[in-house]
Structure formats: structure tokens, C-alpha cells
Structure 1
Amino acid sequence: MTLFRSAAVLSAAALALAACGGTSDDTKPDTAGAPVNGGTLVYAVNTEPTNLDPHASPQDITGLFTRPVLDSLVSLDDKGTIHPWLAKSWEISADQKTYTFKLREGVKFSDGTVFDAEAVKANLDHIVDPKTKSQLAAGFITPYAGTTVIDEHTVKVAFSKPHSPFLAALATAYFGIESPTSLKAGPDALAKKVIGSGPFVIDAFTPHQGITYHRNPDYDWAPEGSSHTGPARLDKLELKVLQEDSVRLGALTSGQVDGIASVPPVNVKQIKADPRFTLETRQAPGGNYNYYPNTTAGVFTDAKVRRAFRDGIDFKTVIDKLYFGIFQPAASPVSPATQGYDKATETAWKYDAAAANKLLDEAGWTGRDGEGFRTKDGKRLTVRWTFVRAFAREQRATLAEQVQAEAKKIGFDLQLQDATVAEYVPRFAKGDYDLADFSWQRADGDALRNLFDTSSITTPTFFGQNGSRYSDKEVDGWLAGSLGTTDNAERAELYAKVQQKVTDNAVVFPVYVFNYVLGASKKVHGITWEPQAYPTFYGAWVTK
């Protein structure tokens, strides 16, 4: 999950100019020969959306479930290049405040509604509409000033200030274009079913079980650079929810499903060695799985306490032992696959229990109570961690318990407070926590703006991703500067400054770099990857 994408945050999804890294060396060559049409592919995942509308939901899994049915205005390749899709061309004003799109003609949504400029306006307006309660997409376009229909196939999108990441954001499933007719059904209906112009059409979404699709026979508008044109190769696609690692792995090895997400790290060698299967990993861009200390209330308002917590826990050893090297310990708030990643963060801090203890002494936490926890003025060094265990993926609950044990060694009483999604969201909005956790998949370095800009702090009326509730004028200025330039070198320099400052101030505790680990039967071919590092099935096919 990612807590904001885990429960959205929860699991906390997902951009430009560099996509995730290429396939890993684990990938086995596809020697199946010519693609074939027909058949059904069944793919098991470890979590499910709480809301199927990507305009509203921030969950990674929402993007996975809706990409088969939703096209975007543009696409993003694995080299960070933007390509035409539903928009066949575009122009950007010199001040980068206005984007004018020429739209593809002849496109229809699966409900028969015609795709046109009015549809684009309806979708962008829907994303920012307060009634949508967008927890992700609206935050990608905070300076949005409105959309003007020029003619049936021309639309102009305006911003109140320069916004260079717009095209990359448009490439994500969270800006997938939904039928304007379906948008009128309201948020409750959209949470259960979305209608697009994509290569598949949803048959049924059943909570706790999964989702089924059938091929859209009229599809003929794939993004530029696709492996083929025309309808999808599969007749049917099914995504099945199997949360337990052992159950999901067993379904693959017994042939009940054709592929699975999140092969358990302990079983990766088993799958790689089995000639019946292939295994592929993809490093996710954007925010790593990080812990975010609340810098505005509680013990983590003190930078010395924050540094002590980060430096006093041997994250590397814990991660290596738990994940068998499949996930790498993180150093920066963003992964190496993210445009603008600063390699210097890898040596900016290190595990040092002695130094951590000294910092806590300097901060005044010099006492010890009967259980060994540090105290100050008669109060225990307590950290409240609101944790949505029901959505914890990749053994994050086990990881949390191990971190809890490590934290106790240096005197922290790390309290895991299990919560439901309904309980978590209002607490997060009010800042009623000491520690939050989530990952944040986004291919663009602009993910740093989501994570650390003052404007991204969640309020009761606005859902942002700044889990540390961090506010710094210098950081805000660097992030604002990145919006006004398309020069990748300039943006990378600004993003490096942000990473260095938030690292120096310990306003984020990097934990691990997420890798999507996909296991599949050798009869499965043609699965490709979204820039945010989850699989797509337009070109997929199966052999007997």
C-alpha cells in the first residue's frame, strides 16, 4: 500500500520526465513468437481500491484497476518523453501558464459518448471540484485556473502560474479521461465503476474479490509508440484480490492464476529457479516507502529528536533481513528512478546509535523509567504511529514491529495505534499523529512538491501529501522555481537542494525503495509498464 496509497494515503500514486528504470536483470527473455488474440488472463494482486475513481483516489491500486479502461491525453515512455494519445498535438505558452491541445477525432467512450473538447473540460473540472474530494490528482494541478473549449477538437487549459509538470501528470491514470456522461452519476457511482475509451470495459468490480473486464472491440486509438494498434489482444482480463502472500503465491504455482503482483521476497529465488515462470522487477519512481515525523506537534518538533530516531535505527540491517535484498534501503525521500534524484543523499546520514543517544541527551531526554524508555520532566519519550494494518502490504506490519523494537533500544516508546481508513483520514487531516508512513509513486521529481511544499499540508478541507507537515520558505521557493522551467538540469538542481535540506533537517525517515515484483506463467506475454511502475495489459496475450 502506501499509506496514502495504502489506504491511500493509503499505500501513498503516480511525472516527468523520467520514468522508472528499465526491467531488471531478473527478466527472462520472451521467446513466444508471434502474438495471438483471444483468451483470458487472470492476475492476482495483494490489495484493492477503496474507491475506483482515480480522480478522487490516491491509491496505486486504483491506477492499476482503471488504466485498462481509461486513456489519457498524453503518454510517457520509459525515457521520459511525452507522446500523443487522445491529444494529437499541443502548444505551451512562453510563460508556461497555458496549454492548448488539438484532440484526436473519431474517439468514443464505451457508453457511446463522443470524446471531444467538452469531455476534456468536464474531466479537469471534475478533478478540482470540491465534491470529488480528490486526494491526489487535484494536488498535481493546484494552480489550475480553468479550461476553455475553443472548438470541438481544441481545448485550452490555463494555470494561474507556471506549471511545467502538467504534461507528465496528464500521462498518469489519475488523469484518465472518463465519459462525461458517467461523471454526472456522482461520486458514489464512480467509486464502483468508471467508464472510459480504453481497450477494456469493466464488467464488474466486487470488493474483496476483484474486477473483471472484456475487450473493447472498437478500440483504435492507442498511444503513439504502442506495441500494436487496434483492440487489445485478450478477450477478457481479471484482477483477483488475494491479500495473503502465501495464498497468492500458491495460486500462481498451482496454475489458478496466470500472474501475481508482489512475489514475496522470501520466494523470489524459488520463482526464478522454476522453469514454468518468469519474474520481473521494476523500481518505482517517486517517494520511497518513508516514515514522516510530524514537525508541528509532539516530540518530533525537535530536530535533534528526529535525527536521533532516524540515525539510531539500523534500517539497512532490518530491511536486508526482512526483504532478502529485493527492496533496497533508502537514503533520499525519493527513489533513484526519479528524475532529479540526488545521489549525494546516500552519504548524508548513516546509522550511529551512539550519536543518536548523544542527541537525545542534548535534547533533554536524559531520564529512564522502569521499562527503559527515556523521560524528560516526568514524561516518556512517546511516538504515536497511526498505522492502518489492514492495508499494510509487503510485510510492513512486521517491519513496523521490528522498527518498534529497534527504537526501544535508544529509548523511544513507539506506539503502533491500529486504525481503520475511516479513523485514519481525519487524524491525518488534523495532524493528530507523531509518525505517518507511506510510499508515493510518481515518475517526476515534482513528487517532492507533493511531499514537502507548505501548500501540500493536509487540512480538514484539503487532502495533501506533506505527512511531515513541514513548512519552509526556502524549500517552497525552490519547488516554485521548478514549476517555471522545463530545463531538466535546472529542475534537477532545485530538486537536489530540496532533498539536501529535508535530509539535513531529518523531516523524513527514508526506509526502503519499492520494487514491483511480478511473477507470471511462461504462457503470459506482452505485459508492459506504466511510468509509475505497475503493469499494463493492452498488449498482453496468452498461449496455451
Structure 2
Amino acid sequence: MKAFRPLRSLALLAGSALLLSACDSGAAGGADPGRPVSGGTLTYAVNSEPVNLDPHASPQDVTALFARPVLDSLVSMDADGRIRPWLARSWSVSADEKTYTFTLREGVTFHDGTPFDAAAVKANLDHVVDPKTKSEMAAGYIEPYRGTKVTGPHTVAVTLERPHAPFLSALSTAYLGIQSPAALRRGAESIARKLVGSGPFVMKSFTPRKGAEYRRNEGYDWAPGTASRKGPARLKGLELQVITEDSARVGALTGGQVDAIAQVPPSAVRRLNSDPRLRTAKHQAPGGAYTYYPNTGAGVFEDARVRQAFRDGIDFTTVVKELYFGVFDRAHAPLSPGTPGAPPVPRKLEYDPKGAARLLDEAGWDERDDQGYRTKEGSRLTVRWPFVQASGAREQRSTLAAQIQAEAKELGIELKLVEGTLNELIQRYSKGDYDLMDLSWTRADGDALRSLFHSDSIATPERFGQNAARFDDKGTDSLLEEALAASDPEQREQLYGRVQDRVAAETAAFPVYVTNAVVGVSDKVQGLGWDPQAYPTFNDAWRAP
């Protein structure tokens, strides 16, 4: 079992058809939207863009936002994590759970006029795992994939090397979206700049650092089972505009230059909700919550007592509450509660500075130097944290780091942010040359825990892995592998609960906050939805004149 990607992915990591509703606190409803209308262009400002538009190859979460309007998937996932039809009308699973047979929709056409059929499914899945694609995310989602056999014009049998319970949920994501085989044949450079799918919008153009333009697919008639509207989109056009600076993005919304914005800063939520022309909406991101991961394999955090002291001796709850104004909740487990199939958190993590001090004393860090830091045998208790300031702008993570640094000093720990380039961070990560790493990992399946804690996902100079804690525990590996092969959702939930219990017992993670996708929206916009990765969708959206 391998759960890894090429090393250059880390640079990009440091970085459900529910209708959007107002945020829980201070929301303003806006004007009566009236009856839905057809036409118009919706402009949505985002804070980042994909380096490569091809979701089969790209490691960036934001690729899904740019690809979803264009690419349909074989199946869809609803708000409860249930798999629903889309390009596949139905499917069955063999008794050994290694073969999935799909019956496909007929009459579906790609934007270039070529028909969607069984051969197109085979071409796409084969493209994902082709070494030439250099997939940095999608291939890992279907790692046991062995091959696809075309059994009829609109039937395929997909074979896996072993049972893989998250297979259907992986197929529902934009990362496994179905592209025109003719477009795939044009090569990686072409796909990286323009996508051709069968979705509700046709991509007109993509301009780096500016954004993408789309027009309505007038012949669209095969929306997913999760969509309320089955025909063509109401919007005539869609624009994704890149505005990286938070204040500029908020200003563009309040000034009417754009209709909606991504990544509303928590400090701006109340202000936007107090404007009768605007509202905000949030959706909890699934997968790994934003978490600090101690290097359990070497350095000061190899001692579990020091790990527990750091987790319990810092008041994460208060810091998160005050910095994020209640928009983000404190995380108490590595897996976000919004993840389909996530187990309930057994207990909340409590702030216990006295207990933390006792643990550090027991671990031998019982002296203090002239700056108040704990020492042992003349050495200061220093935690090295490779940190790229450019990536820290996301969700005010640099500000958060500074506050945690101050909290650690009160405990007697020097939290040293080792600043450098992304390449330098990658090198440190691959060698395990760090004491602490921060990471969030969006994925709409509890299998995110396998990426985060299975020993096969520990990075080396030859391969990338998301196990930043370098946690090597055979019992955890066994539970994760059992969950991977379990078809019963309740059994998987119980297994993931046991994994989180083991991680908590070994203090292999310091959960910080649960990420919410927060968007700001003009009162002229209605009908936006959420996809399973917590990105807005535009199939059912409309814009009042």
C-alpha cells in the first residue's frame, strides 16, 4: 500500500448540493430575490489559482473549483455522503469487491462534439494513473486501480488490485472528472491551460494571475443526482477572477465589482453581514483539520511527554476563538467533523498548563535559562518549525503562528520559525529535518486519515507523503488497512474512531481549527451550492439583473 506523491507537491499544500445559507451569527438576509432568471454573468473572486488546470495531474485543491464547471464525474456525492448517479446511471460491485461495473448514460456529448462512452471512461482512468501524467493527487485516490475493460458501448468493468472502500467517493470528485479523450490526446501542456469536458459550462479561456471565463453549455441535460436543476445552467456566463489580497477581494465585493468572493477573512464576516446588500455563507471543509504535526520519529518530540505538554500546555481554544471571531471552531481531532463518515470526537482537548509543566519536568526539562526557556543538560528546549511566510497569509496562519509562539514561550518552549523558500521546506520535509509541520488536507472521506497517519505515507527523499508526524505505528496501519477494505460504513466509522483514539493517545497531532469555507455573496446571487470538497458550485445559480 502506497499513499504518496512526488515531493514537489508539498509546496502547493502549504497552501453536496446544499444551498448556501447565511453564517450562524450576525447574518443579514438581503432583499427578496424574486423568481429565478436566466442569463447574465456571475463573477466570483478567488484568492488562488491552479498552476495546472488538469485535475488528473494537479496537487492543488483549488483545481477542483476551476475544473468542476467543465467536468462531470461518473458519480456524485450528496450532503450525507451517499453516492448518487451522474454520468453513470447505475453500478454494481463484485462479491470480492474488486470489480465495479458501470452502466453509463447515453446521449452525453463533450464540448468538442465527441460522444461520451465507455471508451472515454477507460481513457480517463488510464490517463490518471499513466506515469506520464505525473499525477500528484488523483492517482493516489485510486491507487489500487488495475485497469478498465470496455464491455459494451456504454458499459465498463473497472478492476482493482484489492478492495478499496473509498473508490466511489474518489470518483465523485473533480479530480477524477471526465475529460474529452480527444483533448487528452493533445497532451499535458494543452490540458494544463484548457479543459474540455461535458459539464454545464464550457471553458472559454484561462489566463494565469487573472482567472478563467466560461459560457453556458446550451445542450446540457445530464446533471448529477444531487442537483435540483437538470437542464442547462441559468447563468449565461461565469468568471473566476483571481484577487489574492484579502482586503482587495472584500473591497471588490462591497464595491460591486464582483458578485461573490472566496476566503472571506474572519475579521470581515460581521461587516459583510451588516450590509443589507450582502451576506456570507460557510461550509465545513472535510478531511484533515488544520493541524500541527510533531515529528514523532526524531528530535524533541520523539518524547511523548514533550508532545503531550505542547498540546495541553497551549491554550489553542482561546487563541482560535479570539483570532477567528468564532468563524472557525477549535479542532479536537485530526479529522474534520464535516467529513462523511467521520466518527464522533470522544473527548474535547483541555488546556492544562500545570499538567504540561509536570510532564516537562518529568522529561528532564526542569531548568530555565536567562530568557525563561526550559533546558536540559545545558540545551534549550527548542522546536524547529519550517515556515514559509507567503503561505502563512492563508487564513492568517502567520498571525496564528506568532500567537502560538508566545504561548509556547510561557510554557518554556522556544518555538522557532525557520523561514526559507518552498524548495528548502521541501528538502527539510523529505528528510524529516524538522520538529513541527502544519497541514490541512481536504478530502470528503475518512480515508484522509490513511494519508495522514499510515507509515507508508511518511515522506522520503524519493517520495512524498502526508504523514507529517512521521507516525509509525503498526496497530494504526492495521486499522487503516481494515477500514480500506470495509464496505460497511458503520464499521469504517468505528475503525476511524479507533485510529483517532490511538493518535490522541500517542499525541501524534496537535489539532488547531476546523476549516470553514467562507464566501461573501451579493444579494443579487442565489442558488449557489457546495461540492463535497467545500467549493461552491454554479449549476443551479442565477443572478438578478
Partner SS state of residue 364, structure 1: coil
Deviations along 1:126-157, one digit per CA (max 9) or x if unpaired, are: 22233333232222222222222222221111
Deviations along 1:389-434, one digit per CA (max 9) or x if unpaired, are: 2233111111111111211222222222334444433433333332
Structure 1 stretch displaced more, 133-142 or 329-338: 133-142
| 8 Å contact kept, 1:143–1:159 | yes
| 8 Å contact kept, 1:390–1:420 | no
Q: What pairs up with 1:30-429 in 2 under 5 angstroms?
A: 31-347=32-348, 349-392=349-392, 393-429=394-430
Q: 1:279 to 1:430 in 2, by over 3 A?
A: same
Give percent identity, aligned residues only.
58
Partner SS state of residue 395, structure 1: helix
Deviations along 1:201-239, one digit per CA (max 9) or x if unpaired, are: 222222222222222223222112422122222121111
Q: Distance in 1 between matches of 2:12 and 2:185?
A: 24
Q: 1:132 to 1:421 in 2, by over 3 A?
A: farther
| 8 Å contact kept, 1:27–1:281 | no
Q: 1:129 to 1:416 in 2, by over 3 A?
A: farther
Q: 1:422 to 1:220 in 2, by over 3 A?
A: farther
Structure 1 stretch displaced more, 430-439 or 328-337: 430-439
Q: 1:481 to 1:223 in 2, by over 3 A?
A: same
Give the corresponding residue for 1:9: 13
Structure 1 stretch displaced more, 121-130 or 29-38: 29-38
Give the corresponding residue for 2:523: 522
**Unmatched tracts of structure 1, length 5 or more:** 12-17
| 8 Å contact kept, 1:345–1:503 | no
Q: 1:353 to 1:494 in 2, by over 3 A?
A: same
**1:111 maps to amino acid:** D
Alignment RMSD, CA only?
2.4
| 8 Å contact kept, 2:17–2:226 | no
Partner SS state of residue 390, structure 2: helix
Q: Distance in 1 between matches of 2:19 and 2:257?
A: 30
Structure 1 stretch displaced more, 117-126 or 83-92: 117-126
1:510 deviation in Å? 0.3
Q: Distance in 2 between matches of 1:138 and 1:264?
A: 33
Structure 1 stretch displaced more, 23-32 or 525-534: 23-32
Partner SS state of residue 496, structure 2: helix
Q: Distance in 2 between matches of 1:127 and 1:156?
A: 17
Q: Distance in 2 between matches of 1:292 and 1:21?
A: 34
Partner SS state of residue 403, structure 1: helix
| 8 Å contact kept, 1:19–1:443 | no
Q: Distance in 1 between matches of 2:40 and 2:20?
A: 28
1:71 deviation in Å? 0.7
Partner SS state of residue 301, structure 2: helix
Give the corresponding residue for 1:482: 483
**1:350 maps to amino acid:** E
1:463 deviation in Å? 2.9
Partner SS state of residue 371, structure 2: coil
Partner SS state of residue 60, structure 1: coil
Give the corresponding residue for 2:4: none
| 8 Å contact kept, 1:5–1:60 | no
Q: 1:528 to 1:521 in 2, by over 3 A?
A: same
**1:9 maps to amino acid:** L
1:327 deviation in Å? 0.5
Q: Distance in 2 between matches of 1:378 and 1:400?
A: 27
Partner SS state of residue 394, structure 1: helix
Deviations along 1:337-376, one digit per CA (max 9) or x if unpaired, are: 12343434433x3211222222222222233334333333
**2:43 maps to amino acid:** V
TM-score, length basis structure 1: 0.92
Q: Distance in 1 between matches of 2:146 and 2:440?
A: 29
Q: Distance in 1 between matches of 2:308 and 2:8?
A: 24
Q: Distance in 2 between matches of 1:327 and 1:318?
A: 11
| 8 Å contact kept, 1:101–1:154 | yes
Q: 1:396 to 1:105 in 2, by over 3 A?
A: same
**Unmatched tracts of structure 2, length 5 or more:** 1-6
Number of residue pairs aligned between Structure 1 and Structure 2: 535
Give the corresponding residue for 1:14: none
Partner SS state of residue 395, structure 2: coil
Q: Distance in 2 between matches of 1:121 and 1:463?
A: 27
| 8 Å contact kept, 1:20–1:337 | no
| 8 Å contact kept, 1:329–1:513 | yes
Structure 1 stretch displaced more, 384-393 or 79-88: 384-393
1:176 deviation in Å? 0.9
1:332 deviation in Å? 0.6
Q: Distance in 1 between matches of 2:14 and 2:202?
A: 26
**1:363 maps to amino acid:** A
